[in-house]
């Protein structure tokens, strides 16, 4: 019986990698989603258009992050006003 890619992946060392990937994705989904979105935009702009374009877009990204509810939640947590941090996105 020929094994497909999933069978090979799960029966090998790939299962640990899969579980690590799932855990990491859960961690990211609970993180500051607005900031992560802007990081992706900066990376995309760098790859697609170069550093100069990305540098101009960073200013917009910073403004978007700082006016987000994620930023307020993070600042309150760092200031000791909140015991737990839960981003809303």
Co-location of 25 and 36 in the same domain: no
Co-location of 1 and 42 in the same domain: no
Co-location of 24 and 7 in the same domain: yes
Is-contact 77 61, C-beta < 8 A? no
**Has this prediction a pTM greater than 0.75?**
no
Q: What is the pLDDT of residue 14?
A: 67
Query: pLDDT by residue (tens digit) across 24-61?
Result: 777 777 778 888 889 899 999 899 999 998 898 899 99
Percent of the chain with pLDDT over 90: 21
Tell me how far apart the alpha carbons of residues 34 and 69 are, in angstroms, rounded to a whole number: 9
Co-location of 40 and 26 in the same domain: no
Task: Label residue 81 by pLDDT band (50, 70, 90).
Answer: very high
Residue with token string 């979105």:
37
Q: What is the mean pLDDT of residues 12-28?
A: 74
Domain enclosing residue 49, as ranges: 32-89
Residue with token string 């992706």:
40
């Amino acid at each position: 019986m020929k094994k497909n890619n999933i069978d090979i992946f799960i029966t090998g060392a790939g299962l640990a990698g899969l579980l690590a990937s799932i855990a990491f994705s859960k961690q990211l989904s609970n993180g500051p989603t607005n900031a992560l979105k802007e990081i992706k935009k900066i990376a995309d702009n760098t790859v697609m258009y170069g550093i100069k374009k990305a540098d101009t877009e960073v200013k917009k990204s910073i403004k978007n992050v700082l006016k987000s509810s994620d930023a307020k939640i993070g600042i309150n947590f760092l200031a000791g006003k909140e015991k737990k941090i839960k981003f809303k996105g």
